[in-house]
Structure 1
Amino acid sequence: MTPTPRIPSLLSSPSDVPLPAVLDRLDRLTDWEKRPRGGMRVGLDPMRDLLHRLGEPHERLRVIHVGGTKGKGSVCALIEAGLIRAGLRVGRYASPHVESVAERVCLQGRPVEDARLAQALARALDAHEAARRDGTAGQDATWFDVLTAAALTIFGEAGLDWAVIEVGLGGRLDSTNAVGSEVAVVTNVALEHTEILGTTRAAIAAEKVGILKPGAVLVTTLPADDEAGAVVAARAAALGCPVLRPAISDGAAIEEENAALAGLVLDHLGRSGALGRDGAPLRANLLDAAARASARLPGRLERRRVRTAARAVPVVLDGAHVPFNLAAVLRDLARAPDLSGPCIALVALAGDKDAAGFLSVLAGYGASVVATEMPERRGHAAAALRALAAAEGMEAEAVAAPDAGLTRAADLAARRGGWLLVTGSLHLVGALRAATEA
């Protein structure tokens, strides 16, 4: 049998590949972030074929793999910050991005340079095209497969101590699940992507815990007697994997929950013999105030403002897109003394999201809604969101264009002495973040 040709390493790749041109090649592939997901192909064979052609870069990595309904991006960033604080070399893969695709691939807490990302993407795309010529599984690789393969290629050739990998969607069949890991984190489980992952928390938990591999440890907030927690605990028992749960007080803030999970991961690694550059075991107290500050991500409880003719309006950017997550966000924001006035929420939601449930949560907090929508994204129409909000008894209007929606929502907040929440989609946050200021 003829061996599969390997794509040359980054070290031998040209250094002048322009990123926009490579992204144009990438954008010709199927991107399930922009399409209805009911027809998503399942299986990891395309991803494995790409990685094989790229020299199995993931096999050179020590991986911490993080999934869950909410908080997974922030938990990844906190783990990354703690490992960097210990003097280690770390890569982090995240999704989606807010403003630039390079945000998804970070080395030492910073997005990779455009040239380096372009080279890796070009190699992954070449691998995809070679698979098409050969008629192998990689011919069916998607946009996210190729980007994930590029990220793992960068990490595999960067001499990392650790790679922190965020699940894209679900877990078991996610592109990132081609990696092995020493720690698997399932932050929590709520109803999301039900057309793909299942219609119960138990079914969704079974998909998310699919990232757990034999020999790894599972870290989760889910109690064993919870519907979803029982599923992940049973999977861990079947694989012989220990389960670790952080001590989190009732009503803890989102940031505290995320830090507790990340700290528990670091403590476990330290107890297992993982050392920092100074030779000391890794530990939770690496997450000091400076490390936590460095781990704050754009679009996650991000505080900014918008200037209007009347005054500067406080703005919170948060990509919450399920009722469970939004409720936690609003609970935390209710504790902020500078957000005591009425809330005007600028909302866009993807078509597969529970719009009625999401708006019901906003109604419970007395918010008014300006509904908008994202061009080129599969989503609820602004008029439909306005109607659902009105059915909840909320004051609501529809402004289809996001920039015009931001202007309208900010003006309402300014006149009423209130504040603005931009939510429902990280894509919406990314489109509008530059129109706000720190």
Structure 2
Amino acid sequence: MSSLLPSPADDPLPPVLDRLDCLTDWEKRPRGGMRVGLDPMRDLLARLGEPHNRLRVIHVGGTKGKGSVCALIEAGLMRAGLRVGRYASPHVESVTERVCLEGRPVADATLAWALTRALDAHEAARRDGTAGQDATWFDVLTAAALTIFGEVGLDWAVIEVGLGGRLDSTNAVESEVAVVTNVGLEHTEILGHTRAAIAAEKVGILKPGTALVTTLATDDEAGAVAAARAAALDCPVLRPAIPPGAAIAEENAALAGLVLDHLGQRGALGRDGTPLRAGLLDAPVRASACLPGRLERRRIRTRHGAVPVVLDGAHVPFNLAAVLRDLARMPDLPGPCIALVAMAGDKDAAGFLAVLARHRASVVATEMPERRGHAAAALRALAAAEGLEAEAAAEPEAGLTRAVDLAATRGRWLLVTGSLHLVGALRARTEDPEA
């Protein structure tokens, strides 16, 4: 598919990323003063020829699961023989993971070409004094992704919300389906301090007539907000049937399957001319949609034997609780875990650690260099206040070494959690258990 793109610039990706990194990156800064709004994004897209207007879009937001739901929808559409692009955030190991064509990250040269165009549009806006002069790192990267997608002739683009929804950079697109997976307390300094307030931001991705697919019930605080917004915009609301206690993977597949069923009922066809349907998500397709850092099984070899490792970027208490519930069903994970934890400064660290305490974990607290976050010593103190055995190691590599040693000598398993950035920094130190 990428062969349809214009010839990429000769410049390699790293110098282009250096240009991008000169812009404000709210993934690395305290978000209390974060500027949000769509005018800079719209200005960039106008200067780039409105590439998003050439796309059929499925837009996915929510507190947890949105990345996995995007990957499942992508996999189902590909199983139907369709050409699909997926935009996601954050990445785990390489920025190219954020922009996928046909299920694979774009080539470095392709992303370099698109980023160069988007950065040039930003510089033109600065010269002209228009809204695009205030574009952020995420604005420009999103514009680059949409530029690629608009160029290659996709059947569908699956777009993951970055933060919130209403004022997120991705909300410049029009979508045929909007998914809100669920709503928990997160980014409260930006989105609000109640689930109702956060829901209002997340359902801001709804446009008139767009179908809303969500797990939120009408008798739920957040669900009532979603239902009212949908009614005001004449949007049908679709809710999957999810049995109590369903695993995370089952819940995500139910949402993705409902999206495919709805599109098929509205006339969307696969390459063979048959309507799209949930049945496209068979076991092999679901397995192909697994993302790094989401309930990912790995291992680390030690002189005491191989330590089982689970990498999961859960960062809110109810997500961690679901992760630990699902992992407790796995008979090869012996007893309580050793948890290596780093968390962004705007996350509910005390609530997160309370969940670990209920599961009798032991904690090694660490932190991420160049990322806004809780200091390791502060996390250790919060963990101790919850009654947890806890240590602190500010450097992630040192924290991993200590956590692996504890797991190996005690016959335990290791959970690396609290931040996808932590997972990305350490994933290369682990290996596939099937290798």
Give the TM-score normalised by the residue count of structure 1.
Answer: 0.97
Q: How far did residue 225 of structure 1 move?
A: 0.7
Q: 1:172-208, CA deviations, whole angstroms, 9 ceiling, x for partnerless residues? A: 0000000000000000000000000000000000000
Could you tell me which of 358, 361, 364 is aligned with 2:358?
364
Q: Does residue 103 in structure 1 map to residue 97 in structure 2?
A: yes
Paired residue secondary structure (1:338)? coil
| 2:34 is the counterpart of 1:34 | no
**2:37 aligned partner:** 43
Where 2:97 maps in the other structure, the secondary structure is helix
Aligned mates of 2:418, 2:37 — CA distance in 1: 29
Question: For 1:61, which of 40, 52, 55 is the aligned residue?
Answer: 55
Is residue 380–residue 390 contact of structure 2 (8 Å, CA) maintained in 1?
A: yes
Counterparts of 1:60-79 in structure 2, within 5 Å, are 60-79=54-73
User: How far, CA to CA, are the matches of 1:241 and 1:288 in structure 2?
Assistant: 29
CA contact (8 A) 2:336 2:359 kept: no
- Structure 1 residue 15 displacement after superposition: 3.1
Shift of 1:215: 1.7
- The structural deviation recorded for 1:38 is 1.0
Among 401, 409, 414, the residue aligned to 2:395: 401
Residue 89 of structure 1 aligns with which residue?
Answer: 83
After TM superposition, list the pairs within 5 Å mapping 1:30-429 onto structure 2: 30-429=24-423
The 1:55–1:389 alpha-carbon spacing in structure 2 relative to 1, beyond 3 Å, is same
Give the deviation of 1:342 after TM superposition. 2.6
Counterpart residue type for residue 350 of structure 1: A
The CA distance in 1 between the partners of 2:228 and 2:334, in whole Å, is 44
SS of structure 1 residue aligned to 2:338: strand
Cα distance in structure 2, aligned partners of 1:153 and 1:116: 11
Query: Which range moves more in the overlay, 53-62 or 10-19?
Result: 10-19
**Deviation at residue 364 of structure 1 after TM alignment:** 0.4
8 Å Cα contact 1:342/1:417 also seen in 2: no
Q: Could you report, residue by residue, the CA deviation over 1:197-241 in whole angstroms, capped at 9, with x for unpaired residues?
A: 000000000000000001210000000110000000000000000
Which secondary structure state, in structure 2, belongs to the residue aligned with residue 75 of structure 1?
helix
CA drift of 1:341 comes to 2.3
Answer whether contact 1:342 1:413 (CA < 8 A) is retained.
no
SS of the residue 2:332 aligns to: helix
Q: Is the 8 A contact 2:305 2:408 kept in 1?
A: yes
Distance in 1, matches of 2:286 and 2:144, equals 28
State the one-letter code of the partner of 1:76: C
Deviation at 1:17, TM superposition (A): 2.0
d(CA) in 1 for partners of 2:104, 2:166: 28
Q: Distance in 2 between matches of 1:234 and 1:291?
A: 35
Please tell me the residue identity of whatever aligns with 2:285: A
SS of 1:157 mapped into structure 2: helix
Distance in structure 2 (CA, Å) of the matches to 1:42 and 1:188: 22
Per-residue deviation, 1:42:
2.2
CA deviations on 1:225-279 (whole Å, 9 max, x unpaired) are 1000000000000000000000000000000000000000000000000000000
What letter corresponds to residue 354 of structure 1 in structure 2? D
Deviation readout 1:333-359 (Å, 9 max, x if unpaired): 010000122310000000000010000
| Structure 2: gaps spanning 5 or more residues | none
The residue identity in structure 2 corresponding to 1:233 is A
Quick check: 2:334–2:411 contact (8 Å CA) kept in 1?
no
Q: Is the 8 A contact 2:339 2:415 kept in 1?
A: yes
CA distance in 1, matches of 2:79, 2:401: 40
Structure 1 residue 12: Cα displacement:
5.3
Find the residue that maps to 1:191 and give its secondary structure: coil
Unaligned runs of 5+ in 1: 1-9
Give identity over the alignment, percent. 87
Q: TM-score, normalised by structure 2?
A: 0.98
Whole-Å separation in 1 of the counterparts to 2:323 and 2:238: 25
Contact 1:171/1:207 (<8 A) preserved:
yes
Distance apart, 1:13 and its partner CA: 5.9
Q: Which runs of 4+ in 1 moved over 4 A?
A: 10-14
Q: Is the 2:8–2:109 contact (alpha carbons within 8 Å) kept by the matching residues of 1? A: no
Residue 436 of structure 1 aligns with which residue?
430
What letter matches 2:270 in structure 1?
A: G
Task: Provide the rounded CA distance (Å) in 2 between the counterparts of 1:308 and 1:179.
Answer: 49
The alignment partner of 1:21 has SS state of helix
Deviation of the 1:36 alpha carbon: 0.5
